[in-house]
Structure 1
């Protein structure tokens, strides 16, 4: 046989091989056979060297050690890749941008970000990926497989990196520290994203408007506002969302799940961020302060919306008229004034409302409930704002001041009536 001759042909495709052993290993891709089976778990492999590396995850053996630090690896290739971090070598350079990479696979993966090529397609859904490793991990969302198990609790994960991050919640380890503040993080990626808060950099820029973002996932969500695409659809109703987390949150409304319970009252919530926000109603904590005025808020989203009162920004525009709003929910409620839709109906009378909170207030006219009580007198109110207005009768506070004269008022409506005197 001539050197380099490929006389072994695959019966399933056009591939040719110079050695029969290579052909036999290749055929396993077509047959799906995985002859090397682990006797300690359900994992199986096509190739012996992958099987040997896997067995080390059970024994803890890491025979390949770095001479420059304490790092150790189960494979020689893992060690060789690690050594490049000491040398700083990045021999694979992108011709389209300034990026450089330590290995060819990282470089090939990067090139697909320029071509938008996603050659690895899922057989069970429409998902597609740039890298084979990503589709392998994605398949676990269909199979439910979580092979990476925590030794300290019952948690299990589809990704090894997620397990490593989780373990740090037990150890408290946060090896990546910020140079600008005392912040410390368990992942380098989280540190890099955090630093953007200090630098003000927003590397993900929309080419259709002036919006820019610190994080890629927020950028992707923003782009759907231009395309109208909502790829995450609910199986129980017609609702669709731009993000997976939006869909997951929505699904809890069908299940009625509220797993996060307040220890100080009977309130329960669908997610952790909501209970964190709620707890601040007990503590009165308002950690988000405006740099332009004295306002302070319980939630970051609230201060972001508040800033629009200073900038005048109203990004949520009505398609049916010229109205524009600072809040998305305000736009949604406004649109119902065009459609006449009032989805929240009273069980006791024919009243119907655009907003659920308005229905809740209305229900109190039937029940007589007045949950907002004054600490200084016997007065009680249906709405929180009514109580706030009432408290000014005790404190004498008059926060609404006329710009034309020195008169001040305890209610905005009183100021509005007063201004008519100047405009007559």
Structure 2
């Protein structure tokens, strides 16, 4: 089992088990390309091999288990680098002395030999010697003895005394090494990795909780002490944040929200901890008569003037300035005709939840979870027990049973207590009883609709060109999956739409509907030149080509 943790001395990851690239032993190792700290200095072992030996090790970007070096080889590498440095310094000193002799001309050289005592504990980092053997210890060379050209003759007693002293010295070193080895074994046997990992996860989770708490607290403080208008939405319909009343006019939404006390209601509705959407058309201070139209200025005002506490975090809200006309992004001043288009644009500024599969970005964690399900390709169906129709969710099945089979009114009027079986009936109620103007004009063309949903579909289909359904056999895209299914018949040759009055069949429903008009003698297409009428658009075009040559057919009949 691979375990990776930070070493207390090496200050870097330890891989256990791993293959040492220098001695081919399998043990605890360090990474060749990772920076470690030893005795206050930074070291990268692959760079040390290049500097000391000129060796460029290969495949260092592969598996971490194959890019390691054991502690024993690290000690030997340090010794080699230290010896190389010593040789370079000695050579530099030698050349400097030779240059000094030539300039002086005396020919005398004075060399001071300074013996440096050898310290067993400081020669190597003993925490790195996890594979050293006590029997491999060599006796340190005394520089004083090496610098003496001829050893003076000594007596047998003196030589025996020196040998006893050397044996005692070796025994002391061996005892110290043994104690250090036992201490090192005890340190290596302790489970260091797991507590460090748990502490890291615990700290990270605590930081996330602290950040969520600070954002939540700031949002509550700002809403309680200002006139910002929190709201919710579905498509381009605005909902009161506190009582879920529906509004299409932002001015009515703002006036309605003033009737609620945010101190009592905002915290209870913020339990799901979603990023709240607020309208900052009016901010102002509730605690005094100060007029403020910038949220950052308001934060400074309530902290400095009223002593409120705000944490050093930003983006507590998604900020909007709602209006009946074109909506402007508060971050980049881009203009959008509909609120749902503006909301999707806000992902560019505040999207923090990213799909690892396709890279799609989302504002909220729940939206990301719903999106991830689309990659699993597990199609769940919830069949109706009465008629067998498959529905996409339990809630869809409930609405189907309630409205189709049990005839229960499930659509409520947001201005009274009346309920209806469909949104169309509720819209008629709003027009006849409450005097609502249920006409929705397209801002990009002259089309007018009596349902906002129909207007949104028109906008997505004709202006935004949201064609998500693409043919696998050609490049054509379609707004509805049913249109794609009809299109596939042009590739397969299927003619699934058969006329009930004759034996003709067609690949598209629209073609069949045009053909059926020939049986009903319904002449919908009229020539603008001679007022002749036809049952099909194709017949009209043929008539214009044959009887009115030179007339622009495409400009008039497309």
- TM-score interval for Structure 1 and Structure 2 normalised by the shorter chain: 0.3 to 0.5
Q: Give TM-score, length-normalised by structure 2.
A: 0.29
When Rg is computed on C-alpha atoms for both structures, the one with the higher figure is: 2
Q: TM-score w.r.t. structure 1 length?
A: 0.36
